[in-house]
Structure 1
Amino acid sequence: MDVYNVTADAETFTANAYLATGERPTLVDAGAMAGVVDVIRNDTDTVDAVVLTHQHGDHVAELDAVLDAFDADLYAEAGHPRRTDALADGDTLQIGDESFEVIATPGHADDHVSLVSESALFSGDVVVHDDGAFENGSFGRTDKPGQSRERLIESIREILDRLPAGVEHMYSGHGGVFHGDVRDVVQTALQRAERREPKYD
């Protein structure tokens, strides 16, 4: 399964949006980059599904454009006018060529989910490899109303509990893609979150 960050060349603030090609072409998050549909079409003529890790604006601003262009099914935990399939903890769904388990991971957002297969983790904003605040293991911000560091910590622990041993690819909502020891990155993020260090000044 090939995965492309279709918002990698954005000149304005956006979340990463990932196109997984293969048997079931799927977009994980839609991002906020104008023209993302044209970038997607460089790699595929069809998108069967869009899966949202959560519905913050930087992840969904271009969602309508993507759905209009590809007539894709929309998977989301929280309600959305165009949702075709609700996500819940423990669900499984196919992304590209692999089967992924849905893990409810609130804290950064109430509706946040992460997606894990035998080889890959789509972690949204709960865990990232690098984001300007920390390198090699950081975590989503929890300093805005409705967010919770305690819930985020529990969510990171849940990812660790359910992370298969062979996961070597991490696709997060911000920062770079990581290939290597994903468990170590997640454990490092957990330790930093548990120290209650402020993420931003």
Structure 2
Amino acid sequence: MRLQPLPAFEDNYIWTLSDATGRAIVVDPGEAGPVLAAAEDGLTPVALLLTHHHDDHIGGVAALLAHWPDLPVFAPADPRIPQATVRVGDGDTVEIDAWRFDVLAVPGHTSSHVAFQGHGVLFSGDTLFSLGCGRMFEGTPAQMLTSLDRLATLPADTQVCCGHEYSRSNAAFARVVDPDNAALRRREQEILDMRSVSRPTLPVTLASERDGNPFLRVDTDAVRAAASRHAGTALTDRVDVFAALRRWKDGFRA
């Protein structure tokens, strides 16, 4: 199958996973235009998968349904996603023809956020980014860390497909936190090289994220020490380390 990110807005990605005939799953269409343009090139949506209710992830659904009224729309049980035709939650399986995805509840960014895993791919929405994680608009640090821990246990070769192109700014923060991490330095250079020619930095393997993403490395001495220095107090509890790291990132400017 072919995995392709369709750029949307300033830094969003709408993900598609298509078969040899062009029939495709479409993930988080925040606007319809990129999907309609891809359809002109042969893409045929067979279902929409939605990770959470934010408009930059669902704003194009109505227009796509106007074009393809029979499209099933799989989304979490959240009234803020009114276009859903199938509600999904943790442990559910989405099956459409040759496509099969497991549904993982990953609250933190929003209370009802889900991720979809299948075919060696993880559609993580705004929970896990390359070298970063989402802001906590509705969840707690404990919830978000539990969600990230869960995603980190997936197979190392999983292709992580995030909802935004945040890799360059995330890398700048990660290097401040963990400056001696050689794997992180390699990933940052890869990101800089890709963005210099306007290439997407995604997908990225989960193995790479485990090695470089500070939000997946709160148990390491280096990340814990950096978070403690920035917080001005010794942090030993891993949730406290994560919370301090997330607050630090919220105010960070490269």
What is the aligned partner in structure 1 of residue 162 from structure 2?
Answer: 172
Unaligned runs of at least 5 residues, structure 2: 166-200, 219-240
TM-score when normalising by structure 1: 0.80
Find 2:150's aligned residue among 158, 167, 182: 158
Structure 1 segment 65-84 matched on structure 2, within 5 A: 65-71=63-69, 72-77=71-76, 78-79=78-79, 80-84=81-85
- Output the CA distance in 1 between the equivalents of 2:122 and 2:160: 5
Structure 1 segment 41-56 matched on structure 2, within 5 A: 41-56=39-54
How many positions carry a matched residue from both structures? 185
- Output the CA distance in 2 between the equivalents of 1:195 and 1:126: 15
Answer with 1 or 2: which has the greater Rg: 2
Amino acid at match of 2:216: L
Q: Is the 8 A contact 1:156 1:186 kept in 2?
A: no
TM-score when normalising by structure 2: 0.65
Q: Which has the higher helix share?
A: 2
Amino acid at match of 2:142: E
User: Which has the bigger relative contact order, CA under 8 A and spacing at least 6?
Assistant: 1
Q: Is the 8 A contact 2:124 2:162 kept in 1?
A: yes
- Output the CA distance in 2 between the equivalents of 1:14 and 1:84: 28
What is the aligned partner in structure 1 of residue 236 from structure 2?
Answer: none
- Output the CA distance in 2 between the equivalents of 1:147 and 1:101: 22
Find 1:191's aligned residue among 213, 217, 238: 217
Q: How much has 1:45 moved relative to structure 2?
A: 4.7
Residues 26 and 122 of structure 1, relative CA distance in 2, 3 Å threshold: same
Q: Is the 8 A contact 1:115 1:122 kept in 2?
A: yes
Q: How much has 1:177 moved relative to structure 2?
A: 0.9
What is the aligned partner in structure 2 of residue 5 from structure 1?
Answer: 5
Q: How much has 1:90 moved relative to structure 2?
A: 1.0
Q: Is the 8 A contact 2:106 2:127 kept in 1?
A: yes
Residues 186 and 126 of structure 1, relative CA distance in 2, 3 Å threshold: farther
Find 1:17's aligned residue among 14, 20, 28: 14
What is the aligned partner in structure 1 of residue 113 from structure 2?
Answer: 112
